[in-house]
Amino acid sequence: METKYIFVTGGVVSSLGKGIISASIGKLLQARGFKVTIQKFDPYINIDPGTLNPYEHGECYVTMDGMETDLDLGHYERFTGIHTTRNNSVTTGRIYKTVIDRERRGDYLGKTIQVVPHITDEIKRRMLREDEKDEQLDFVITEVGGTIGDIESAPFMEAIRQLRWQLGRNAVCVHLTYVPYLKAADELKTKPTQHSVKELQSMGIQPDILVLRTERHLDDALRMKVASFCNVDLECVVQSEDLPSIYEVPVNMQRQGLDAAIMRKIGIPVGETPAMKAWHDFLDKQRNAKREVHIGLVGKYDLQDAYKSIRESLNLAGIYNDVKAKIHFVNSEEITSQNVSEKLEGLAGIVICPGFGMRGIEGKIVAAEYTRTHDIPTFGICLGMQMMVIEFARNVLGYKDANSREMDEQTPHNVIDIMVEQKNITQMGGTMRLGAYECELVKGSRAFEAYGNETLIKERHRHRYEFNNAYKVEYEAKGMKCVGINPAADLVEIVEIPEKRWYIGTQFHPEYSSTVLHPHPLFMDFIKACRS
């Protein structure tokens, strides 16, 4: 089958959940046996979100091949289980960089370089995934960030317009809008949707399918009105009501025939509706998981999206453990040794979050000491693991001034040190140790058991600092074991204290590879310990 292209745009307001809709479309097509990928095009100028503060753009998600990307790629992977790559996340900055680098090389042979056609051609090339010629895909879903009408997304819209023309029936445009409910008038309003579609049409794009986000149910008359004002078939006006969980969205979309509408537009026989049994089993489990287990997220970003993948990994592991993981954010900047017992009261376990820089680290160290000495299940991730290591050095090994070189260049006890290959790096963007690396597990360790007795695993990384092997013998003698090692570079990837109920730190980020149908084994084991 020739590859088909689905473009997903959004109008009216941002934060409508375009990522969830794109991921759901991906899931539904996959359920029909198609090979799918989902990519995100973001209109900002940063080359990638790696240098962005999480307050700007939420978590930075990392692909297996080491690209720092938008958090929507996390939804794509969690919903579909596919592995995205560096070509699945593209920004305006990257597009321009490619074109400008080419211009400097002289590739354009004296031509004037312009937004149209040079920038739009580069966008089209990437939308068509011309760098990944080997992959045989049935569907490429392209989500465009931002909202219709933004100045910066105009070149993306022009590229979609041209591709639609070129691809004919092999392209489908899905547009997501918002239907607000006005309480005073007791009415749902379609005007913003009409305006948003007009805006799209003014750029030469006629949407094939409209997904209307709404807090209230939309009746047929309203859908009919939208259909006739926007030149869209009634069956192609789908509503996406607020649901108790984002994982209900694919099923809700399937019920309304969103995937069938896409197939019809393209001219593929619709056939039977896939049963999606595993997904439904998961949803049943989710609905039945009533008992709450309270987990603390010890971090410095008081923002839902900053630790998105960790939150989702905990949720998923909770559901598979038949409990509801209730997540409580605990601001590490506010934790002191005086108030720590109060701050962590009632929590069955804590996750010490990843991060960069000094702010809030002392609170993480205090939390790590408290949970270690009170034997509360604790999961340290990346910086969180490093803080567990520092706490142990200060309070067990007796090095009161132990620290990471990241926080204190002069520390005499640099139990966390800069990685050798990072020493001479001056450019900040995309230069960390990124992506998947191997890790050998020590037989008999808790981590080894959690991974189902696997000896060699692969996990994703995003860091510049590491455990200092000069201290390894001391740590192990005093009870903190190095149970996961990267064989190529001899880097410590996992530490644990076996005598505790669950006290594990990982230098890597397991949260990036937890999916709906395959929750991550470490999160599973952690929740199991918290639940008991």
Residues with active-site annotation:
382, 509, 511
Q: For 477-510, b where at least 16 C-beta lie within 10 A, e where not — what string?
A: eeebbbbbbbeeeebbbbbbbeebebbbbbbbbb
**Order of strands, edge to edge, in the sheet holding 491-496?**
324-331, 292-299, 349-352, 378-381, 503-506, 491-496, 481-486, 433-441, 456-463
Region of 341-349, 458-466, 474-482, 518-526 interacting with ligand GLN (CB under 6 A): 458-466
User: Shortest Cβ distance from residue 211 to ligand GLN (Å)?
Assistant: 34
Cα within 13 Å of Cα(114), Cβ side: 4
Of 173 and 382, CB closest to ligand GLN: 382
Question: Which of 156, 399, 451, 465 forms a contact with ligand GLN (CB under 6 A)?
Answer: 465
User: Shortest Cβ distance from residue 125 to ligand GLN (Å)?
Assistant: 32
Give me the amino acid identity at 132: E
Question: Which of 462, 481, 500, 520 forms a contact with ligand GLN (CB under 6 A)?
Answer: 462
Of 237 and 381, CB closest to ligand GLN: 381
Q: Which of 424, 496, 419, 426 is nearest to 462 (CA)?
A: 419
Q: Is residue 17 classed as helix, strand or coil in its secondary structure? A: coil
CA angle 350, 293, 280 (to 5 degrees): 115
Q: Which of 222, 217, 210 is nearest to 241 (CA)?
A: 217
User: Shortest Cβ distance from residue 336 to ligand GLN (Å)?
Assistant: 22
User: Shortest Cβ distance from residue 451 to ligand GLN (Å)?
Assistant: 21
User: Shortest Cβ distance from residue 371 to ligand GLN (Å)?
Assistant: 18
User: Shortest Cβ distance from residue 513 to ligand GLN (Å)?
Assistant: 15
Question: Which of 26, 58, 355, 521 forms a contact with ligand GLN (CB under 6 A)?
Answer: 355
Region of 35-43, 126-134, 314-322, 460-468 interacting with ligand GLN (CB under 6 A): 460-468
Region of 51-59, 148-156, 259-267, 461-469 interacting with ligand GLN (CB under 6 A): 461-469
Rounded to whole angstroms, the Cα distance separating 1 from 137 reads 9
Of 395 and 422, CB closest to ligand GLN: 422
Question: Which of 268, 305, 356, 515 forms a contact with ligand GLN (CB under 6 A)?
Answer: 356
Q: Which two tokens stand for residue 178?
A: 């918002």
Quote the strand ranges of 375-476, DSSP E.
Answer: 378-381, 416-418, 433-441, 456-463, 465-467
Query: Using the rule CB under 6 A, is 460 a contact of ligand GLN?
Result: no
Q: What is the DSSP letter of 51?
A: G
Residues 171-230 that bind ligand GLN (CB under 6 A): none
Task: Give one DSSP letter per residue of 142-204, joined into a string.
Answer: EEE-S-TT-GGGHHHHHHHHHHHHHHGGGEEEEEEEEE-EETTTTEE--HHHHHHHHHHHHTT
User: Shortest Cβ distance from residue 469 to ligand GLN (Å)?
Assistant: 15
Question: Which of 383, 482, 485, 504 forms a contact with ligand GLN (CB under 6 A)?
Answer: 383
Residues 387-426 that bind ligand GLN (CB under 6 A): 406
Q: Which two tokens stand for residue 410?
A: 């002069």
Question: Which of 27, 311, 463, 472 forms a contact with ligand GLN (CB under 6 A)?
Answer: 463
Region of 100-108, 129-137, 354-362, 446-454 interacting with ligand GLN (CB under 6 A): 354-362
Of 156 and 307, CB closest to ligand GLN: 307
The contacts of residue 345 (CB under 8 Å, 6+ apart) are: none
Q: Which residues bind ligand GLN (CB under 6 A)?
A: 354-356, 382-383, 406, 462-465
